[in-house]
Amino acid sequence: MRPIRDFFARPDFWKLMGADFQPQKYRTKGELLVATLTHALALRHVKDNPALFACLSEFLSSLKKSHVTATGGATPLAINMQTLVKALPLPETTQEEQHLRQLQELFQNQQFHALLGPVLVRAKLRTRGAALQLLLQKALEMQKKFQAQAATLQALQYFQNRVIHEGYGAQAVDLLVPQKMEISVLDLFRAIDHDRLSAKDRQRVKRVINFISHNFNPSKYLNGFKFEQYGTKGEFLKAAFERMCKLKYLRPQLRDDMTFLTNYITDQGPGAEPLNGKAENMA
């Protein structure tokens, strides 16, 4: 690891990476690290240094293995928000059409999605009208967090008391259901309060990560696990540990490690962050 630490510590590191590398594009530290390593391996400076190239390649390979793939269920952003606007009266004026467009644009805003993910899961909303009502309410409460424009704010205020709860609004919400969801293990394990762990106990974290990276089979260890029920990293990790600890074929050492680490999973800081994952095959 020494060559990697020295490389990242170079005073001219960002100059070497070049202006085309934009770290702000990546949502999590895990994504940023993978992107940084991938980009670095294409640099001439790295290619000309066999030892550094080998270290970076091996590190990147280990990171790519450190992902959990869960199948079935819905994503944390389970509700198809674009279908909810039909639970509003049809626009009759140009002003109402503009308000509706503002609302549709807001529902496509990824920053807004990230803020609302856990809210929608926990609410367990059944109808489109109830889901839309909650969205409007939460959007008004969190307007400063996603920097709502004046036009967006006007649209939210206009529609907050105009949601239709009968007819279309009384129908069940549409869910976005992926067949596969990939979650970064390293990012997920930030939900563990490492500062409270002794050096010896941190070895437990390494053993569990090593197990997930090399010997983990989701269909064996998390078969039927309803990951859509958990909106945050802390909730997901705790539930996954508790689920696996009930399996008779889980190695005793790993069961002991997971049981111990469950007590150090926090619901604050990283543990309270929305569960970010790459969902595929949306239906």
Between 11 and 187, the higher pLDDT residue: 11
Between 183 and 122, the higher pLDDT residue: 183
Residue 114's pLDDT band (boundaries 50, 70, 90)? low
Instruction: Look up residue 245 and give its two tokens.
Output: 């600890």
**Total structural domains in the chain?**
3
* Pair (185, 99) in one structural domain: no
Q: Tell me if 76 is assigned to some domain.
A: no
* Pair (105, 130) in one structural domain: yes
Query: Of 170, 188, 221, which residue sits at a domain end?
Result: 170
Please give the pLDDT value at position 35: 80
* Pair (163, 184) in one structural domain: no
For residue 241, give the nearest of 224, 219, 225, 217 by alpha carbon.
225
Q: Tell me if 70 is assigned to some domain.
A: no
* Pair (194, 271) in one structural domain: yes
* Pair (113, 138) in one structural domain: yes
* Pair (165, 223) in one structural domain: no
* Pair (115, 201) in one structural domain: no
Q: Provide the whole-model pTM.
A: 0.43
Query: Of 65, 97, 112, which residue sits at a domain end?
Result: 65
Q: Tell me if 74 is assigned to some domain.
A: no
Each residue's pLDDT tens digit, 22-40: 877 766 666 777 788 888 8
Please give the pLDDT value at position 245: 93
Question: Mean pLDDT, the chain, as a whole number?
Answer: 77
Instruction: Say yes or no to pLDDT of 142 above 50.
Output: yes
Give the range of the structural domain holding residue 41, as residue numbers without chain letter: 2-65
Query: Of 118, 143, 170, which residue sits at a domain end?
Result: 170
Q: Tell me if 197 is assigned to some domain.
A: yes
Q: Tell me if 249 is assigned to some domain.
A: yes
* Pair (99, 156) in one structural domain: yes
Q: Tell me if 139 is assigned to some domain.
A: yes
Instruction: Look up residue 102 and give its two tokens.
Output: 């503002």
Q: Tell me if 73 is assigned to some domain.
A: no
Instruction: Say yes or no to pLDDT of 277 above 70.
Output: no
* Pair (87, 164) in one structural domain: yes
* Pair (197, 224) in one structural domain: yes
Instruction: Say yes or no to pLDDT of 169 above 60.
Output: yes
d(CA 110, CA 100): 18
* Pair (107, 42) in one structural domain: no
Lowest mean pLDDT among 67-76, 102-111, 221-230: 67-76
Each residue's pLDDT tens digit, 234-258: 888 999 999 899 988 899 999 999 9
Please give the pLDDT value at position 141: 86
- The strand pairing partners of 192, in sequence order, are 265
Q: Tell me if 75 is assigned to some domain.
A: no
Instruction: Say yes or no to pLDDT of 73 above 60.
Output: no
How far are the Cα atoms of 226, 245, 270 from residue 276, in angstroms, in the given order? Answer: 15, 24, 11
Between 153 and 19, the higher pLDDT residue: 153
* Pair (141, 205) in one structural domain: no
